[in-house]
């Protein structure tokens, strides 16, 4: 409990004890009623003094019509009519409800505050005088820091010396450690678990991953959902309206029928019933709980508006490379031509790629490690979009696509296999081809299946060839795909989907957050995949998944739908119950105790309903 909650609990206990004493005193014969009334007054002061002070403060600041004002008027009015027990009871139960909702909010806040533990307190900076412990904010980019086992990495950087395992659970929700060694990029917020790492920082602390994440989570409450904004506007007009209605209920019937005390009592009950606490507390708590629960699983949702949009998704558009696939290429097949050997095909391909900086060239060179490659490579040239040409003891070696073979007049046999195809020729003779392909992420197929189960349409967009796109789409069971797209083509296609779905559902785009920033921003919901350390992803996306687990997309959608169901349940339940009780109260069929249920009881039940979102989301 916080200090404020402990104080409220103490006041509630004191007030409850004094109330019991006052009730017992009121039953003693020949005891003057003023004695029990005085004890009731002390009980009221213990539970209601802070409410009265807040009501007075609100009046001074021009914010008159809030729940404190309603409670103050209702309870003071009841006391003025001599109903001391009801006045104290209303205030006491109101404070119990306030304490309950405070505990519920703090429980929700723990999910987010636990994420704040990723912020490192110090950094071990290498200086000419030796190792100096300093604030991470004082470490400039390009500095060298030391991270010992058990310490958090304070700033993004690259490993200069050492190899270790990093615990990324606080960022990703994933318990599996990540291995790093010399030359690997590391991000702030991870915990070094095994050996000392010497790291060169690549950013300042304010631009590092941990700072960006904390800023994102801390500001999530600023983006209020449409439902939250509606409830706030609703309360602004609702509260003055019910105050005027209560005043009319007290005055008009009294002028017509008399019985001022009876109608004033009904008006006071009407005021207690009308208090909008249930809506004002439970609705934001539901969104807060959804955001907090998601963050615990490594899903960062930027605000309540994004929770609403996630709940309405009807189409999920996914990039292929880096999102559905790992984005790392490898040799998936070697196919020598008639009369050629696999060994010669690989050696010539690797030799041709000796001086190329293309990613495909690196894959071929790594694949040929340990082979006896020609050492007399000369006259190397590379043509963008075609391939490479070199001269060696094997003659003129060509490695590239069909365009290169045609340009050099080499007869070859084209293939319709998916992936990147490298045709190879040496000394005017076609040697065969090597197939290089990307690999699907382990979670891709399951994520697509889960989305389909939820009735969501899956679309794949890629800049790759049609053969490669069709193979991936077929393997994943995605019936709608587009290939050969530029970034602006992806934006155009997503805009078309948004137009088609207007008014019916929202369109989400999941990408790697670096090359897909324009379309991430254009989609109704931009979802950045595996965005650890990606500034573009955190800036452009509405939802950031802190690892490569695609199944977190349908999980985030399901959590958001649960949140919206609970919000709708709370709104309908609170308004319906209050409407019935207000009508009954106006006709005298519901007294102050019914009013207490309609206010505190409805608030407690609504808050309880909202706290269901705090259960484990995975």
Q: What's the confidence (pLDDT) of residue 172?
A: 64
The CATH number fitting domain 298-326+440-560, selected from 3.30.420.40, 3.40.50.300, 3.40.50.150, 3.40.50.1000: 3.40.50.1000
Per-residue pLDDT, 617: 47
**Tokens (6 digits) for 11:** 């006041």
Domain boundaries, the chain: 140-203, 298-326+440-560, 327-439
Average pLDDT, the chain: 83
Which of 66, 306, 312, 319 is an active site residue? 319
Asked if the model's pLDDT at residue 159 lies above 80, the reply is: yes
Which of 103, 89, 234 is CA-nearest to residue 597?
Answer: 89
d(CA 461, CA 314): 17
Examine the residue annotation and report whether 156 is marked as an active-site residue of this protein: no
Stretch among 246-250, 410-414, 417-421, 450-454 having the lowest mean pLDDT: 417-421
67/90 Cα distance (integer angstroms): 13
Which is higher by pLDDT, 362 or 277? 362
Other CB atoms within 10 A of residue 252 CB: 11
- Mean pLDDT in residue range 184-213: 86
Tokens 């060169």 correspond to 200
- Among 396, 312, 397, CA closest to 349: 397
589 or 38: whose pLDDT is higher?
38
Integer Cα distance of 57 and 92 in angstroms: 21
Collect all residues with Cβ–Cβ distance below 8 Å to 240 and sequence separation of at least 6. Answer: 65
618: pLDDT confidence band, cut at 50, 70 and 90? very low
What's the pLDDT score for residue 272? 74
pLDDT at 531: 60
Q: What is the pLDDT of residue 301?
A: 85
Please choose, from the candidates 474, 533, 544, the residue with its C-alpha nearest in 3D space to the C-alpha of residue 324: 474
The dotted CATH code for 327-439 is 3.40.1110.10
pLDDT score for 174: 58
* Out of 153-162, 286-295, 338-347, 503-512, least confident range: 286-295
Question: pLDDT exceeding 90 applies to what percent of the chain?
Answer: 27
Read off the pLDDT of each residue in 184-190 and give the average, rounded to a whole number.
Answer: 87
Output Rg (C-alpha) for the chain, integer angstroms. Answer: 34
* Beta strand extents in 441-472 (DSSP E only): 457-461
The Cα 526–Cα 518 span in angstroms is 10
Q: What is the DSSP letter of 195?
A: S
DSSP 388-437: EEEEETTEEEEEE-HHHHHHTT--------SSEEEEEEETTEEEEEEEEE
- Per DSSP (E only), the strands in 290-359 are 299-301, 313-319, 325-336
Q: Above 50 in pLDDT, residue 554?
A: yes
Measured CA distances, 422 to 253, 333, 413, 614 (Å): 92, 11, 12, 53
- Three-state SS for 479-524 is CEEECCCCHHHHHHHHHHHHHHCCCCCEEEEEECCCCCHHHHHHCC
Give Cβ neighbours of residue 474 (< 8 Å, ≥ 6 apart): none
Give me the mean pLDDT over the 135-151 stretch. Answer: 92
CA dihedral 242, 247, 252, 258 (to 10 degrees): 130
Question: Cβ of 434: how many Cβ atoms within 10 Å?
Answer: 27
| pLDDT tens-place string over residues 493-523 | 999 999 998 878 999 999 875 567 788 888 9
Give the pLDDT confidence of 595-612 residue by residue, as tens digits.
777 777 777 788 778 777
Residue with the bigger pLDDT between 146 and 81: it is: 146
- For tokens 């003057």, the residue is 32
This prediction has a pTM of: 0.66
In the sheet that holds 123-127, the strands lie side by side as 130-134, 123-127, 144-147, 197-201, 157-161, 185-186
Task: Look at domain 140-203 and name its CATH class.
Answer: mainly beta
* Residue 538 pLDDT: 67
Integer angstrom CA distances of residue 58 from 52, 61, 65, 70, 241: 10, 5, 8, 11, 18
Torsion, CA 465, CA 541, CA 527, CA 120, rounded to 10 = 120
């Amino acid at each position: 409990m916080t200090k404020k909650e402990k104080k409220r609990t103490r006041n509630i206990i004191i007030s409850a004890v004094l109330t019991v004493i006052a009730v017992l005193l009121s039953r003693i014969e020949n005891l003057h009623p003023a004695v029990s009334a005085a004890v009731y007054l002390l009980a009221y002061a213990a539970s209601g003094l802070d409410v009265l002070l807040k009501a007075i403060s609100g009046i001074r600041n021009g914010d008159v019509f809030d729940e404190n004002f309603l409670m103050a008027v209702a309870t003071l009015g009841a006391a003025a009519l001599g109903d001391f027990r009801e006045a104290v009871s209303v205030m006491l139960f109101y404070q119990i409800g306030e304490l309950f909702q405070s505990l519920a909010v703090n429980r929700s806040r723990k999910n987010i505050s636990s994420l704040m533990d990723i912020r490192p307190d110090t950094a071990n900076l290498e200086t000419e005088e030796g190792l100096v412990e300093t604030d991470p904010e004082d470490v400039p980019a390009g500095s060298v820091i030391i991270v010992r086992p058990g310490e958090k990495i304070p700033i993004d950087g690259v490993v200069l010396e050492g190899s270790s395992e990093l615990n990324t659970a606080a960022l990703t929700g994933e318990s599996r450690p990540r291995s790093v060694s010399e030359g690997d990029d590391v991000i702030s917020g991870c915990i070094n678990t095994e050996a000392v790492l010497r790291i060169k920082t690549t950013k300042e602390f304010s631009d590092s991953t941990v700072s960006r994440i904390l800023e994102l989570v801390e500001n999530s409450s600023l983006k209020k959902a449409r439902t939250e904004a509606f409830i706030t506007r609703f309360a602004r007009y609702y509260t003055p309206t019910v105050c005027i209605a209560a005043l009319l209920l007290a005055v008009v019937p009294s002028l017509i029928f008399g019985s001022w005390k009876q109608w004033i009592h009904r008006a006071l009950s009407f005021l207690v019933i009308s208090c909008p606490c249930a809506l004002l507390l439970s609705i934001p708590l539901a969104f807060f709980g959804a955001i907090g629960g998601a963050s615990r699983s490594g899903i960062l949702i930027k605000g309540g508006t994004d929770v609403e949009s996630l709940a309405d998704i009807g189409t999920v558009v996914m990039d292929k490379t880096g999102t559905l696939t790992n984005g790392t290429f490898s040799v998936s097949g070697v196919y020598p031509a008639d009369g050629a050997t696999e060994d010669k095909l690989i050696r010539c391909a690797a030799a041709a790629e000796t001086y190329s900086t293309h990613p495909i060239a690196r894959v071929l060179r790594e694949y040929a490690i340990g082979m006896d490659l020609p050492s007399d490579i000369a006259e190397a040239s590379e043509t963008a979009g075609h391939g490479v040409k070199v001269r060696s003891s094997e003659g003129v070696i060509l490695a590239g696509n069909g365009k290169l073979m045609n340009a050099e007049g080499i007869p070859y046999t084209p293939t319709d296999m998916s992936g990147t195809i490298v045709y190879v020729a040496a000394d005017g003779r076609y040697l065969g081809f090597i197939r290089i392909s990307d690999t699907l992420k382990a979670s891709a197929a399951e994520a697509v299946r889960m989305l389909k189960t939820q009735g969501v349409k899956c679309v794949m967009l890629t800049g790759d060839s049609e053969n490669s796109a069709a193979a991936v789409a077929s393997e994943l069971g995605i019936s709608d795909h587009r290939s050969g797209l530029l970034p602006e083509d992806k934006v155009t296609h997503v805009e078309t989907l948004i137009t088609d779905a207007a008014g019916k559902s929202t369109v989400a785009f999941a990408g790697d957050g670096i090359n897909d920033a324009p379309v991430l921003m254009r989609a109704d919901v931009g979802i950045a995949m595996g965005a650890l350390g990606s500034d573009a992803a955190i800036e452009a996306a509405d939802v950031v998944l802190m690892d490569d687990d695609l199944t977190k997309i349908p999980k985030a959608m399901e959590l958001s739908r649960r949140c919206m169901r609970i919000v709708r349940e709370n709104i309908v339940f609170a308004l319906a119950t209050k409407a019935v009780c207000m009508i009954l109260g106006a006709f005298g069929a519901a007294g102050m105790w019914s009013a207490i249920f309609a206010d505190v009881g409805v608030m407690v039940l609504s808050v309880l309903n909202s706290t269901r979102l705090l259960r484990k989301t995975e």
